[in-house]
């Protein structure tokens, strides 16, 4: 049965507008009373037409200054096969530019996209420490997407069973600055190995490319996702479970494109696809992990 997403809201409540603008609800009432913000009063409750609110925000009325550079409707950051599928199935219409977690975060802070996918480990925690430091002034929210199992992806005839077993083997790395390479470097250090001890192939620019290089015989192994290992008939040695989160511009969060994505994260179609791919836990998808 085809799943349908919830319709985009035509009106925002006082609380929703306060969250959007990062102000207290009392300030919203003041703005409505002064006529500074478009609103309607229905059965004693204030409602704010979403389309007019977006236009009001874009005009810079609240601050009295020129609005910041508009963000293009582009999804940045790290590549994930479930996210790639979800953006299409939710009919978001968003363009994608996947180049890794660090590159995506840098471009997001430069306002080159409305959202970015991240799996960055720092200070014993996934994503939140890095986002709190690098994107504290971005007026954004970090939304949970999935926990993913990651490990060594090898051919069926490979004898590699752990990180030390990679020494001297041909391995496909990801590009410098990607979350995958950062975590892999941490595991190498723990095992007492250096990158110089590996036979490194040219770096892959996506999770899919890395696994396909192993399948096609260009390398013996890569540090990849269980979901892609299964899809390509490769052996998987689990090592870690990581968090993959979405950093979303607060204003864009209320736009129709992003609302379709958020609604789809709660659908049976989304959870069923995650189960089919394998290696995902989507039980917290859509929940707020950090509020900028």
Q: Which residues pair with 280 in a beta bridge?
A: 148
Q: Greater confidence, 266 or 37? A: 266
CA distance 234 to 137: 43
Q: Which domains does the chain have, with CATH numbers?
A: 11-58 (1.10.10), 71-292 (3.40.190.290)
64 falls in which pLDDT band (50, 70, 90)?
A: very low
Which tens digits make up the pLDDT trace of 206-216?
Answer: 899 999 999 99
**How many other C-beta atoms can be found within 10 angstroms of the C-beta atom of residue 120?**
26
Which tens digits make up the pLDDT trace of 17-40?
Answer: 888 888 888 788 877 766 677 777
Best mean pLDDT range from 13-27, 49-63, 262-276: 262-276
**Least confident residue range of 24-38, 102-116, 157-171, 241-255:** 24-38
What per-residue confidence (pLDDT) applies to 70? 80
Those residues whose C-beta lies under 8 Å from the C-beta of residue 105, and which sit 6 or more positions away, are: 77, 116, 118, 120, 130, 131, 134, 135, 247
What per-residue confidence (pLDDT) applies to 46? 82
Which tens digits make up the pLDDT trace of 217-257?
Answer: 999 999 999 999 999 999 999 999 999 999 999 989 999 99
CA distance 81 to 121: 20
Model confidence, pTM: 0.75
Long-range (24+ apart) CB contacts under 8 A made by 58-65 are: 61/36, 61/37, 62/21, 62/31
What per-residue confidence (pLDDT) applies to 241? 96
């Amino acid at each position: 049965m085809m799943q349908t997403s919830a319709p985009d809201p035509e009106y925002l409540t006082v609380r929703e507008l306060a969250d959007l603008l990062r102000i207290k609800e009392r300030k919203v009432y003041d703005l409505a009373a002064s006529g500074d913000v478009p609103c309607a009063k229905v059965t004693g409750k204030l409602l704010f037409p979403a389309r007019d609110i977006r236009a009001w925000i874009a005009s810079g009325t609240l601050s009295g200054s020129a609005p910041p550079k508009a963000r293009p409707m582009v999804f940045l950051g790290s590549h994930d096969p479930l996210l790639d599928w979800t953006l299409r199935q939710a009919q978001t219409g968003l363009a994608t530019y996947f180049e890794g977690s660090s590159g995506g975060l840098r471009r997001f802070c430069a306002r080159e996209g409305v959202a970015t996918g991240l799996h960055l480990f720092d200070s014993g925690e996934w994503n939140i420490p890095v986002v709190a430091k690098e994107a504290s002034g971005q007026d954004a929210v970090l939304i949970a997407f999935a926990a993913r199992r990651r490990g060594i992806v090898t051919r069926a005839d490979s004898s590699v069973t752990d990180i030390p077993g990679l020494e001297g083997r041909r391995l496909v790395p990801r590009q410098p600055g990607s979350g995958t390479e950062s975590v892999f470097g941490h595991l190498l250090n723990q095992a007492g190995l250096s990158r110089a001890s590996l036979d490194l192939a040219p770096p892959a620019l996506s999770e899919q490319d890395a696994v396909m290089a192993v399948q096609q015989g260009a390398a013996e192994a890569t540090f990849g996702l269980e979901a892609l290992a299964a899809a390509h008939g490769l052996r998987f040695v689990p090592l870690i479970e990581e968090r993959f989160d979405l950093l979303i511009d607060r204003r864009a969060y209320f736009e129709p494109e992003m609302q379709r994505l958020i609604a789809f994260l709660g659908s049976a179609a989304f959870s069923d696809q995650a189960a089919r791919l394998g290696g995902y836990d989507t039980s917290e998808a859509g929940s707020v992990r950090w509020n900028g």
